[in-house]
Structure 1
């Protein structure tokens, strides 16, 4: 894989230094915003950069209707624009450097050609180190956060799957394939969490989740396609199909079968959870829609009855005789 090599490091705070390191600088800014959420004194200030500001709640005029949230523009919109501009710069830089410049889209064969991929760029190595560190730290956090027993098995399985996939890609020198698949997966996860933020702001917001559902299915299909193409076909037709730990070559049939099995089972498990989630969401929507219809339906008028010896009106008995309906 032809990596883009940087020349001699330019002087600090120079124009060339900012061009070469703008993605890292923006990443540090985003990390500072996320770090601010960990402290109560700075959480409200950091929230202003992430959420939509200047909201107004309109109370319903009639009983049974839900309040409506609308928005105005204001000065605090500049903070939100600044944060998401920073995120866009980081995403653009990562896609440009690690996907477009490495020709993964125009030349998929670069995912398996030249295997074993013993070397990687510094940013890719740092990416994998951060991934491993994050998911390893999630294990003791289950104890520190006093996770409930009913949630423990689910979270352990979730963390184990991440560690298994990332470690396999890193240790078996499949970093090219692993990096691309992680970018696809995290992009879909990013869309989901952005939709959750908008949902917390406005509970009537549902359109974003429909977009995420389509991207989730496409992400699973892309993961399976690229895995089968790289491991099942590309590496299977390579000339160096042998085990050589010294050179980092793990291109053998048992290892390839194990890798494909893990990937396919993982994607199948995610699709199963996704289908159950969508069915549960659909049932909840049907139930909510039915309850809302009951609340908005007009109540039937009560018929005037005979109380304390008074006559009943409307085809009722009046003084022992059936009268005419009024």
Structure 2
């Protein structure tokens, strides 16, 4: 006769969805994006691939003008089709940060709060919006600092209006 522990064991089924299914990408989007970013970052270290991978992390659409009066031209960059790789990598960075925020902050808080399903959805939506608002305010303050709006006072915004 079989021991009682062997009889009581349930057969566990795999909860992992099949690879390359939509559910797989939804569950693992942060891991996939971070792996792609790691490959691109390691590609910048290797000398053979650094010129290709560097296009993912900086502006590439150069519009520097050379004139005869200025012997040392400053590099000017504009937006263009060459910046699509940078846009792709920045999108991957945002996806990775979103997954980190979701997994390490919101999921931990949700377990402590024991919310219902409807409040759970509102909690996660509000949590993502808070992250977006914080990043937007930080970027706006950085732009204000770079454009020196704080030194000249905010009346500069209304001049010649």
- Counterparts of 2:21 and 2:97, CA distance in 1: 23
Q: Which residue of 1 is the match for residue 126 of structure 2? A: none
Does 2:123 align with 1:103?
no
Q: Which residue of 2 is the match for residue 38 of structure 1? A: 45
Runs of 4+ in 1 over 6 A off after TM superposition: none
Structure 1 counterpart SS, 2:63: strand
Which structure has more relative contact order (CA 8 Å, sep 6+)? It is: 2
Q: Which residue of 2 is the match for residue 168 of structure 1? A: none
- Correspondence for 2:73 among 55, 64, 67: 67
Q: Which residue of 2 is the match for residue 215 of structure 1? A: none
Deviation, 1:56, is 2.5
- Counterparts of 1:96 and 1:89, CA distance in 2: 10
- Counterparts of 2:84 and 2:75, CA distance in 1: 21
- Counterparts of 1:71 and 1:47, CA distance in 2: 16
Deviation, 1:66, is 5.7
Structure 1: give runs of 5+ residues left out of the alignment: 1-6, 108-205, 208-326
- Counterparts of 2:29 and 2:89, CA distance in 1: 15
Q: Cα RMSD over matched residues?
A: 3.2
Structure 2 counterpart SS, 1:73: coil
Structure 2 counterpart SS, 1:28: helix
TM norm structure 1: 0.28
Q: Which residue of 2 is the match for residue 25 of structure 1? A: 32
- Correspondence for 1:14 among 21, 28, 50: 21
Q: How does 1:137-286 map to 2 (within 5 A)?
A: 207=146
Structure 1 counterpart SS, 2:79: coil
C-alpha contact 1:57 1:69 (8 A) present in aligned 2: yes
Deviation, 1:24, is 0.6
C-alpha contact 1:57 1:68 (8 A) present in aligned 2: yes
- Counterparts of 1:62 and 1:37, CA distance in 2: 36
C-alpha contact 1:59 1:67 (8 A) present in aligned 2: yes
Does 2:135 align with 1:90?
no
TM norm structure 2: 0.54
Q: How does 1:269-308 map to 2 (within 5 A)?
A: none
- Counterparts of 2:41 and 2:74, CA distance in 1: 30
- Counterparts of 1:37 and 1:71, CA distance in 2: 21
Structure 2: give runs of 5+ residues left out of the alignment: 1-13, 114-144, 147-161
- Counterparts of 1:54 and 1:15, CA distance in 2: 35
Rg larger in structure: 1
Q: Which residue of 1 is the match for residue 120 of structure 2? A: none
Deviation, 1:59, is 4.0
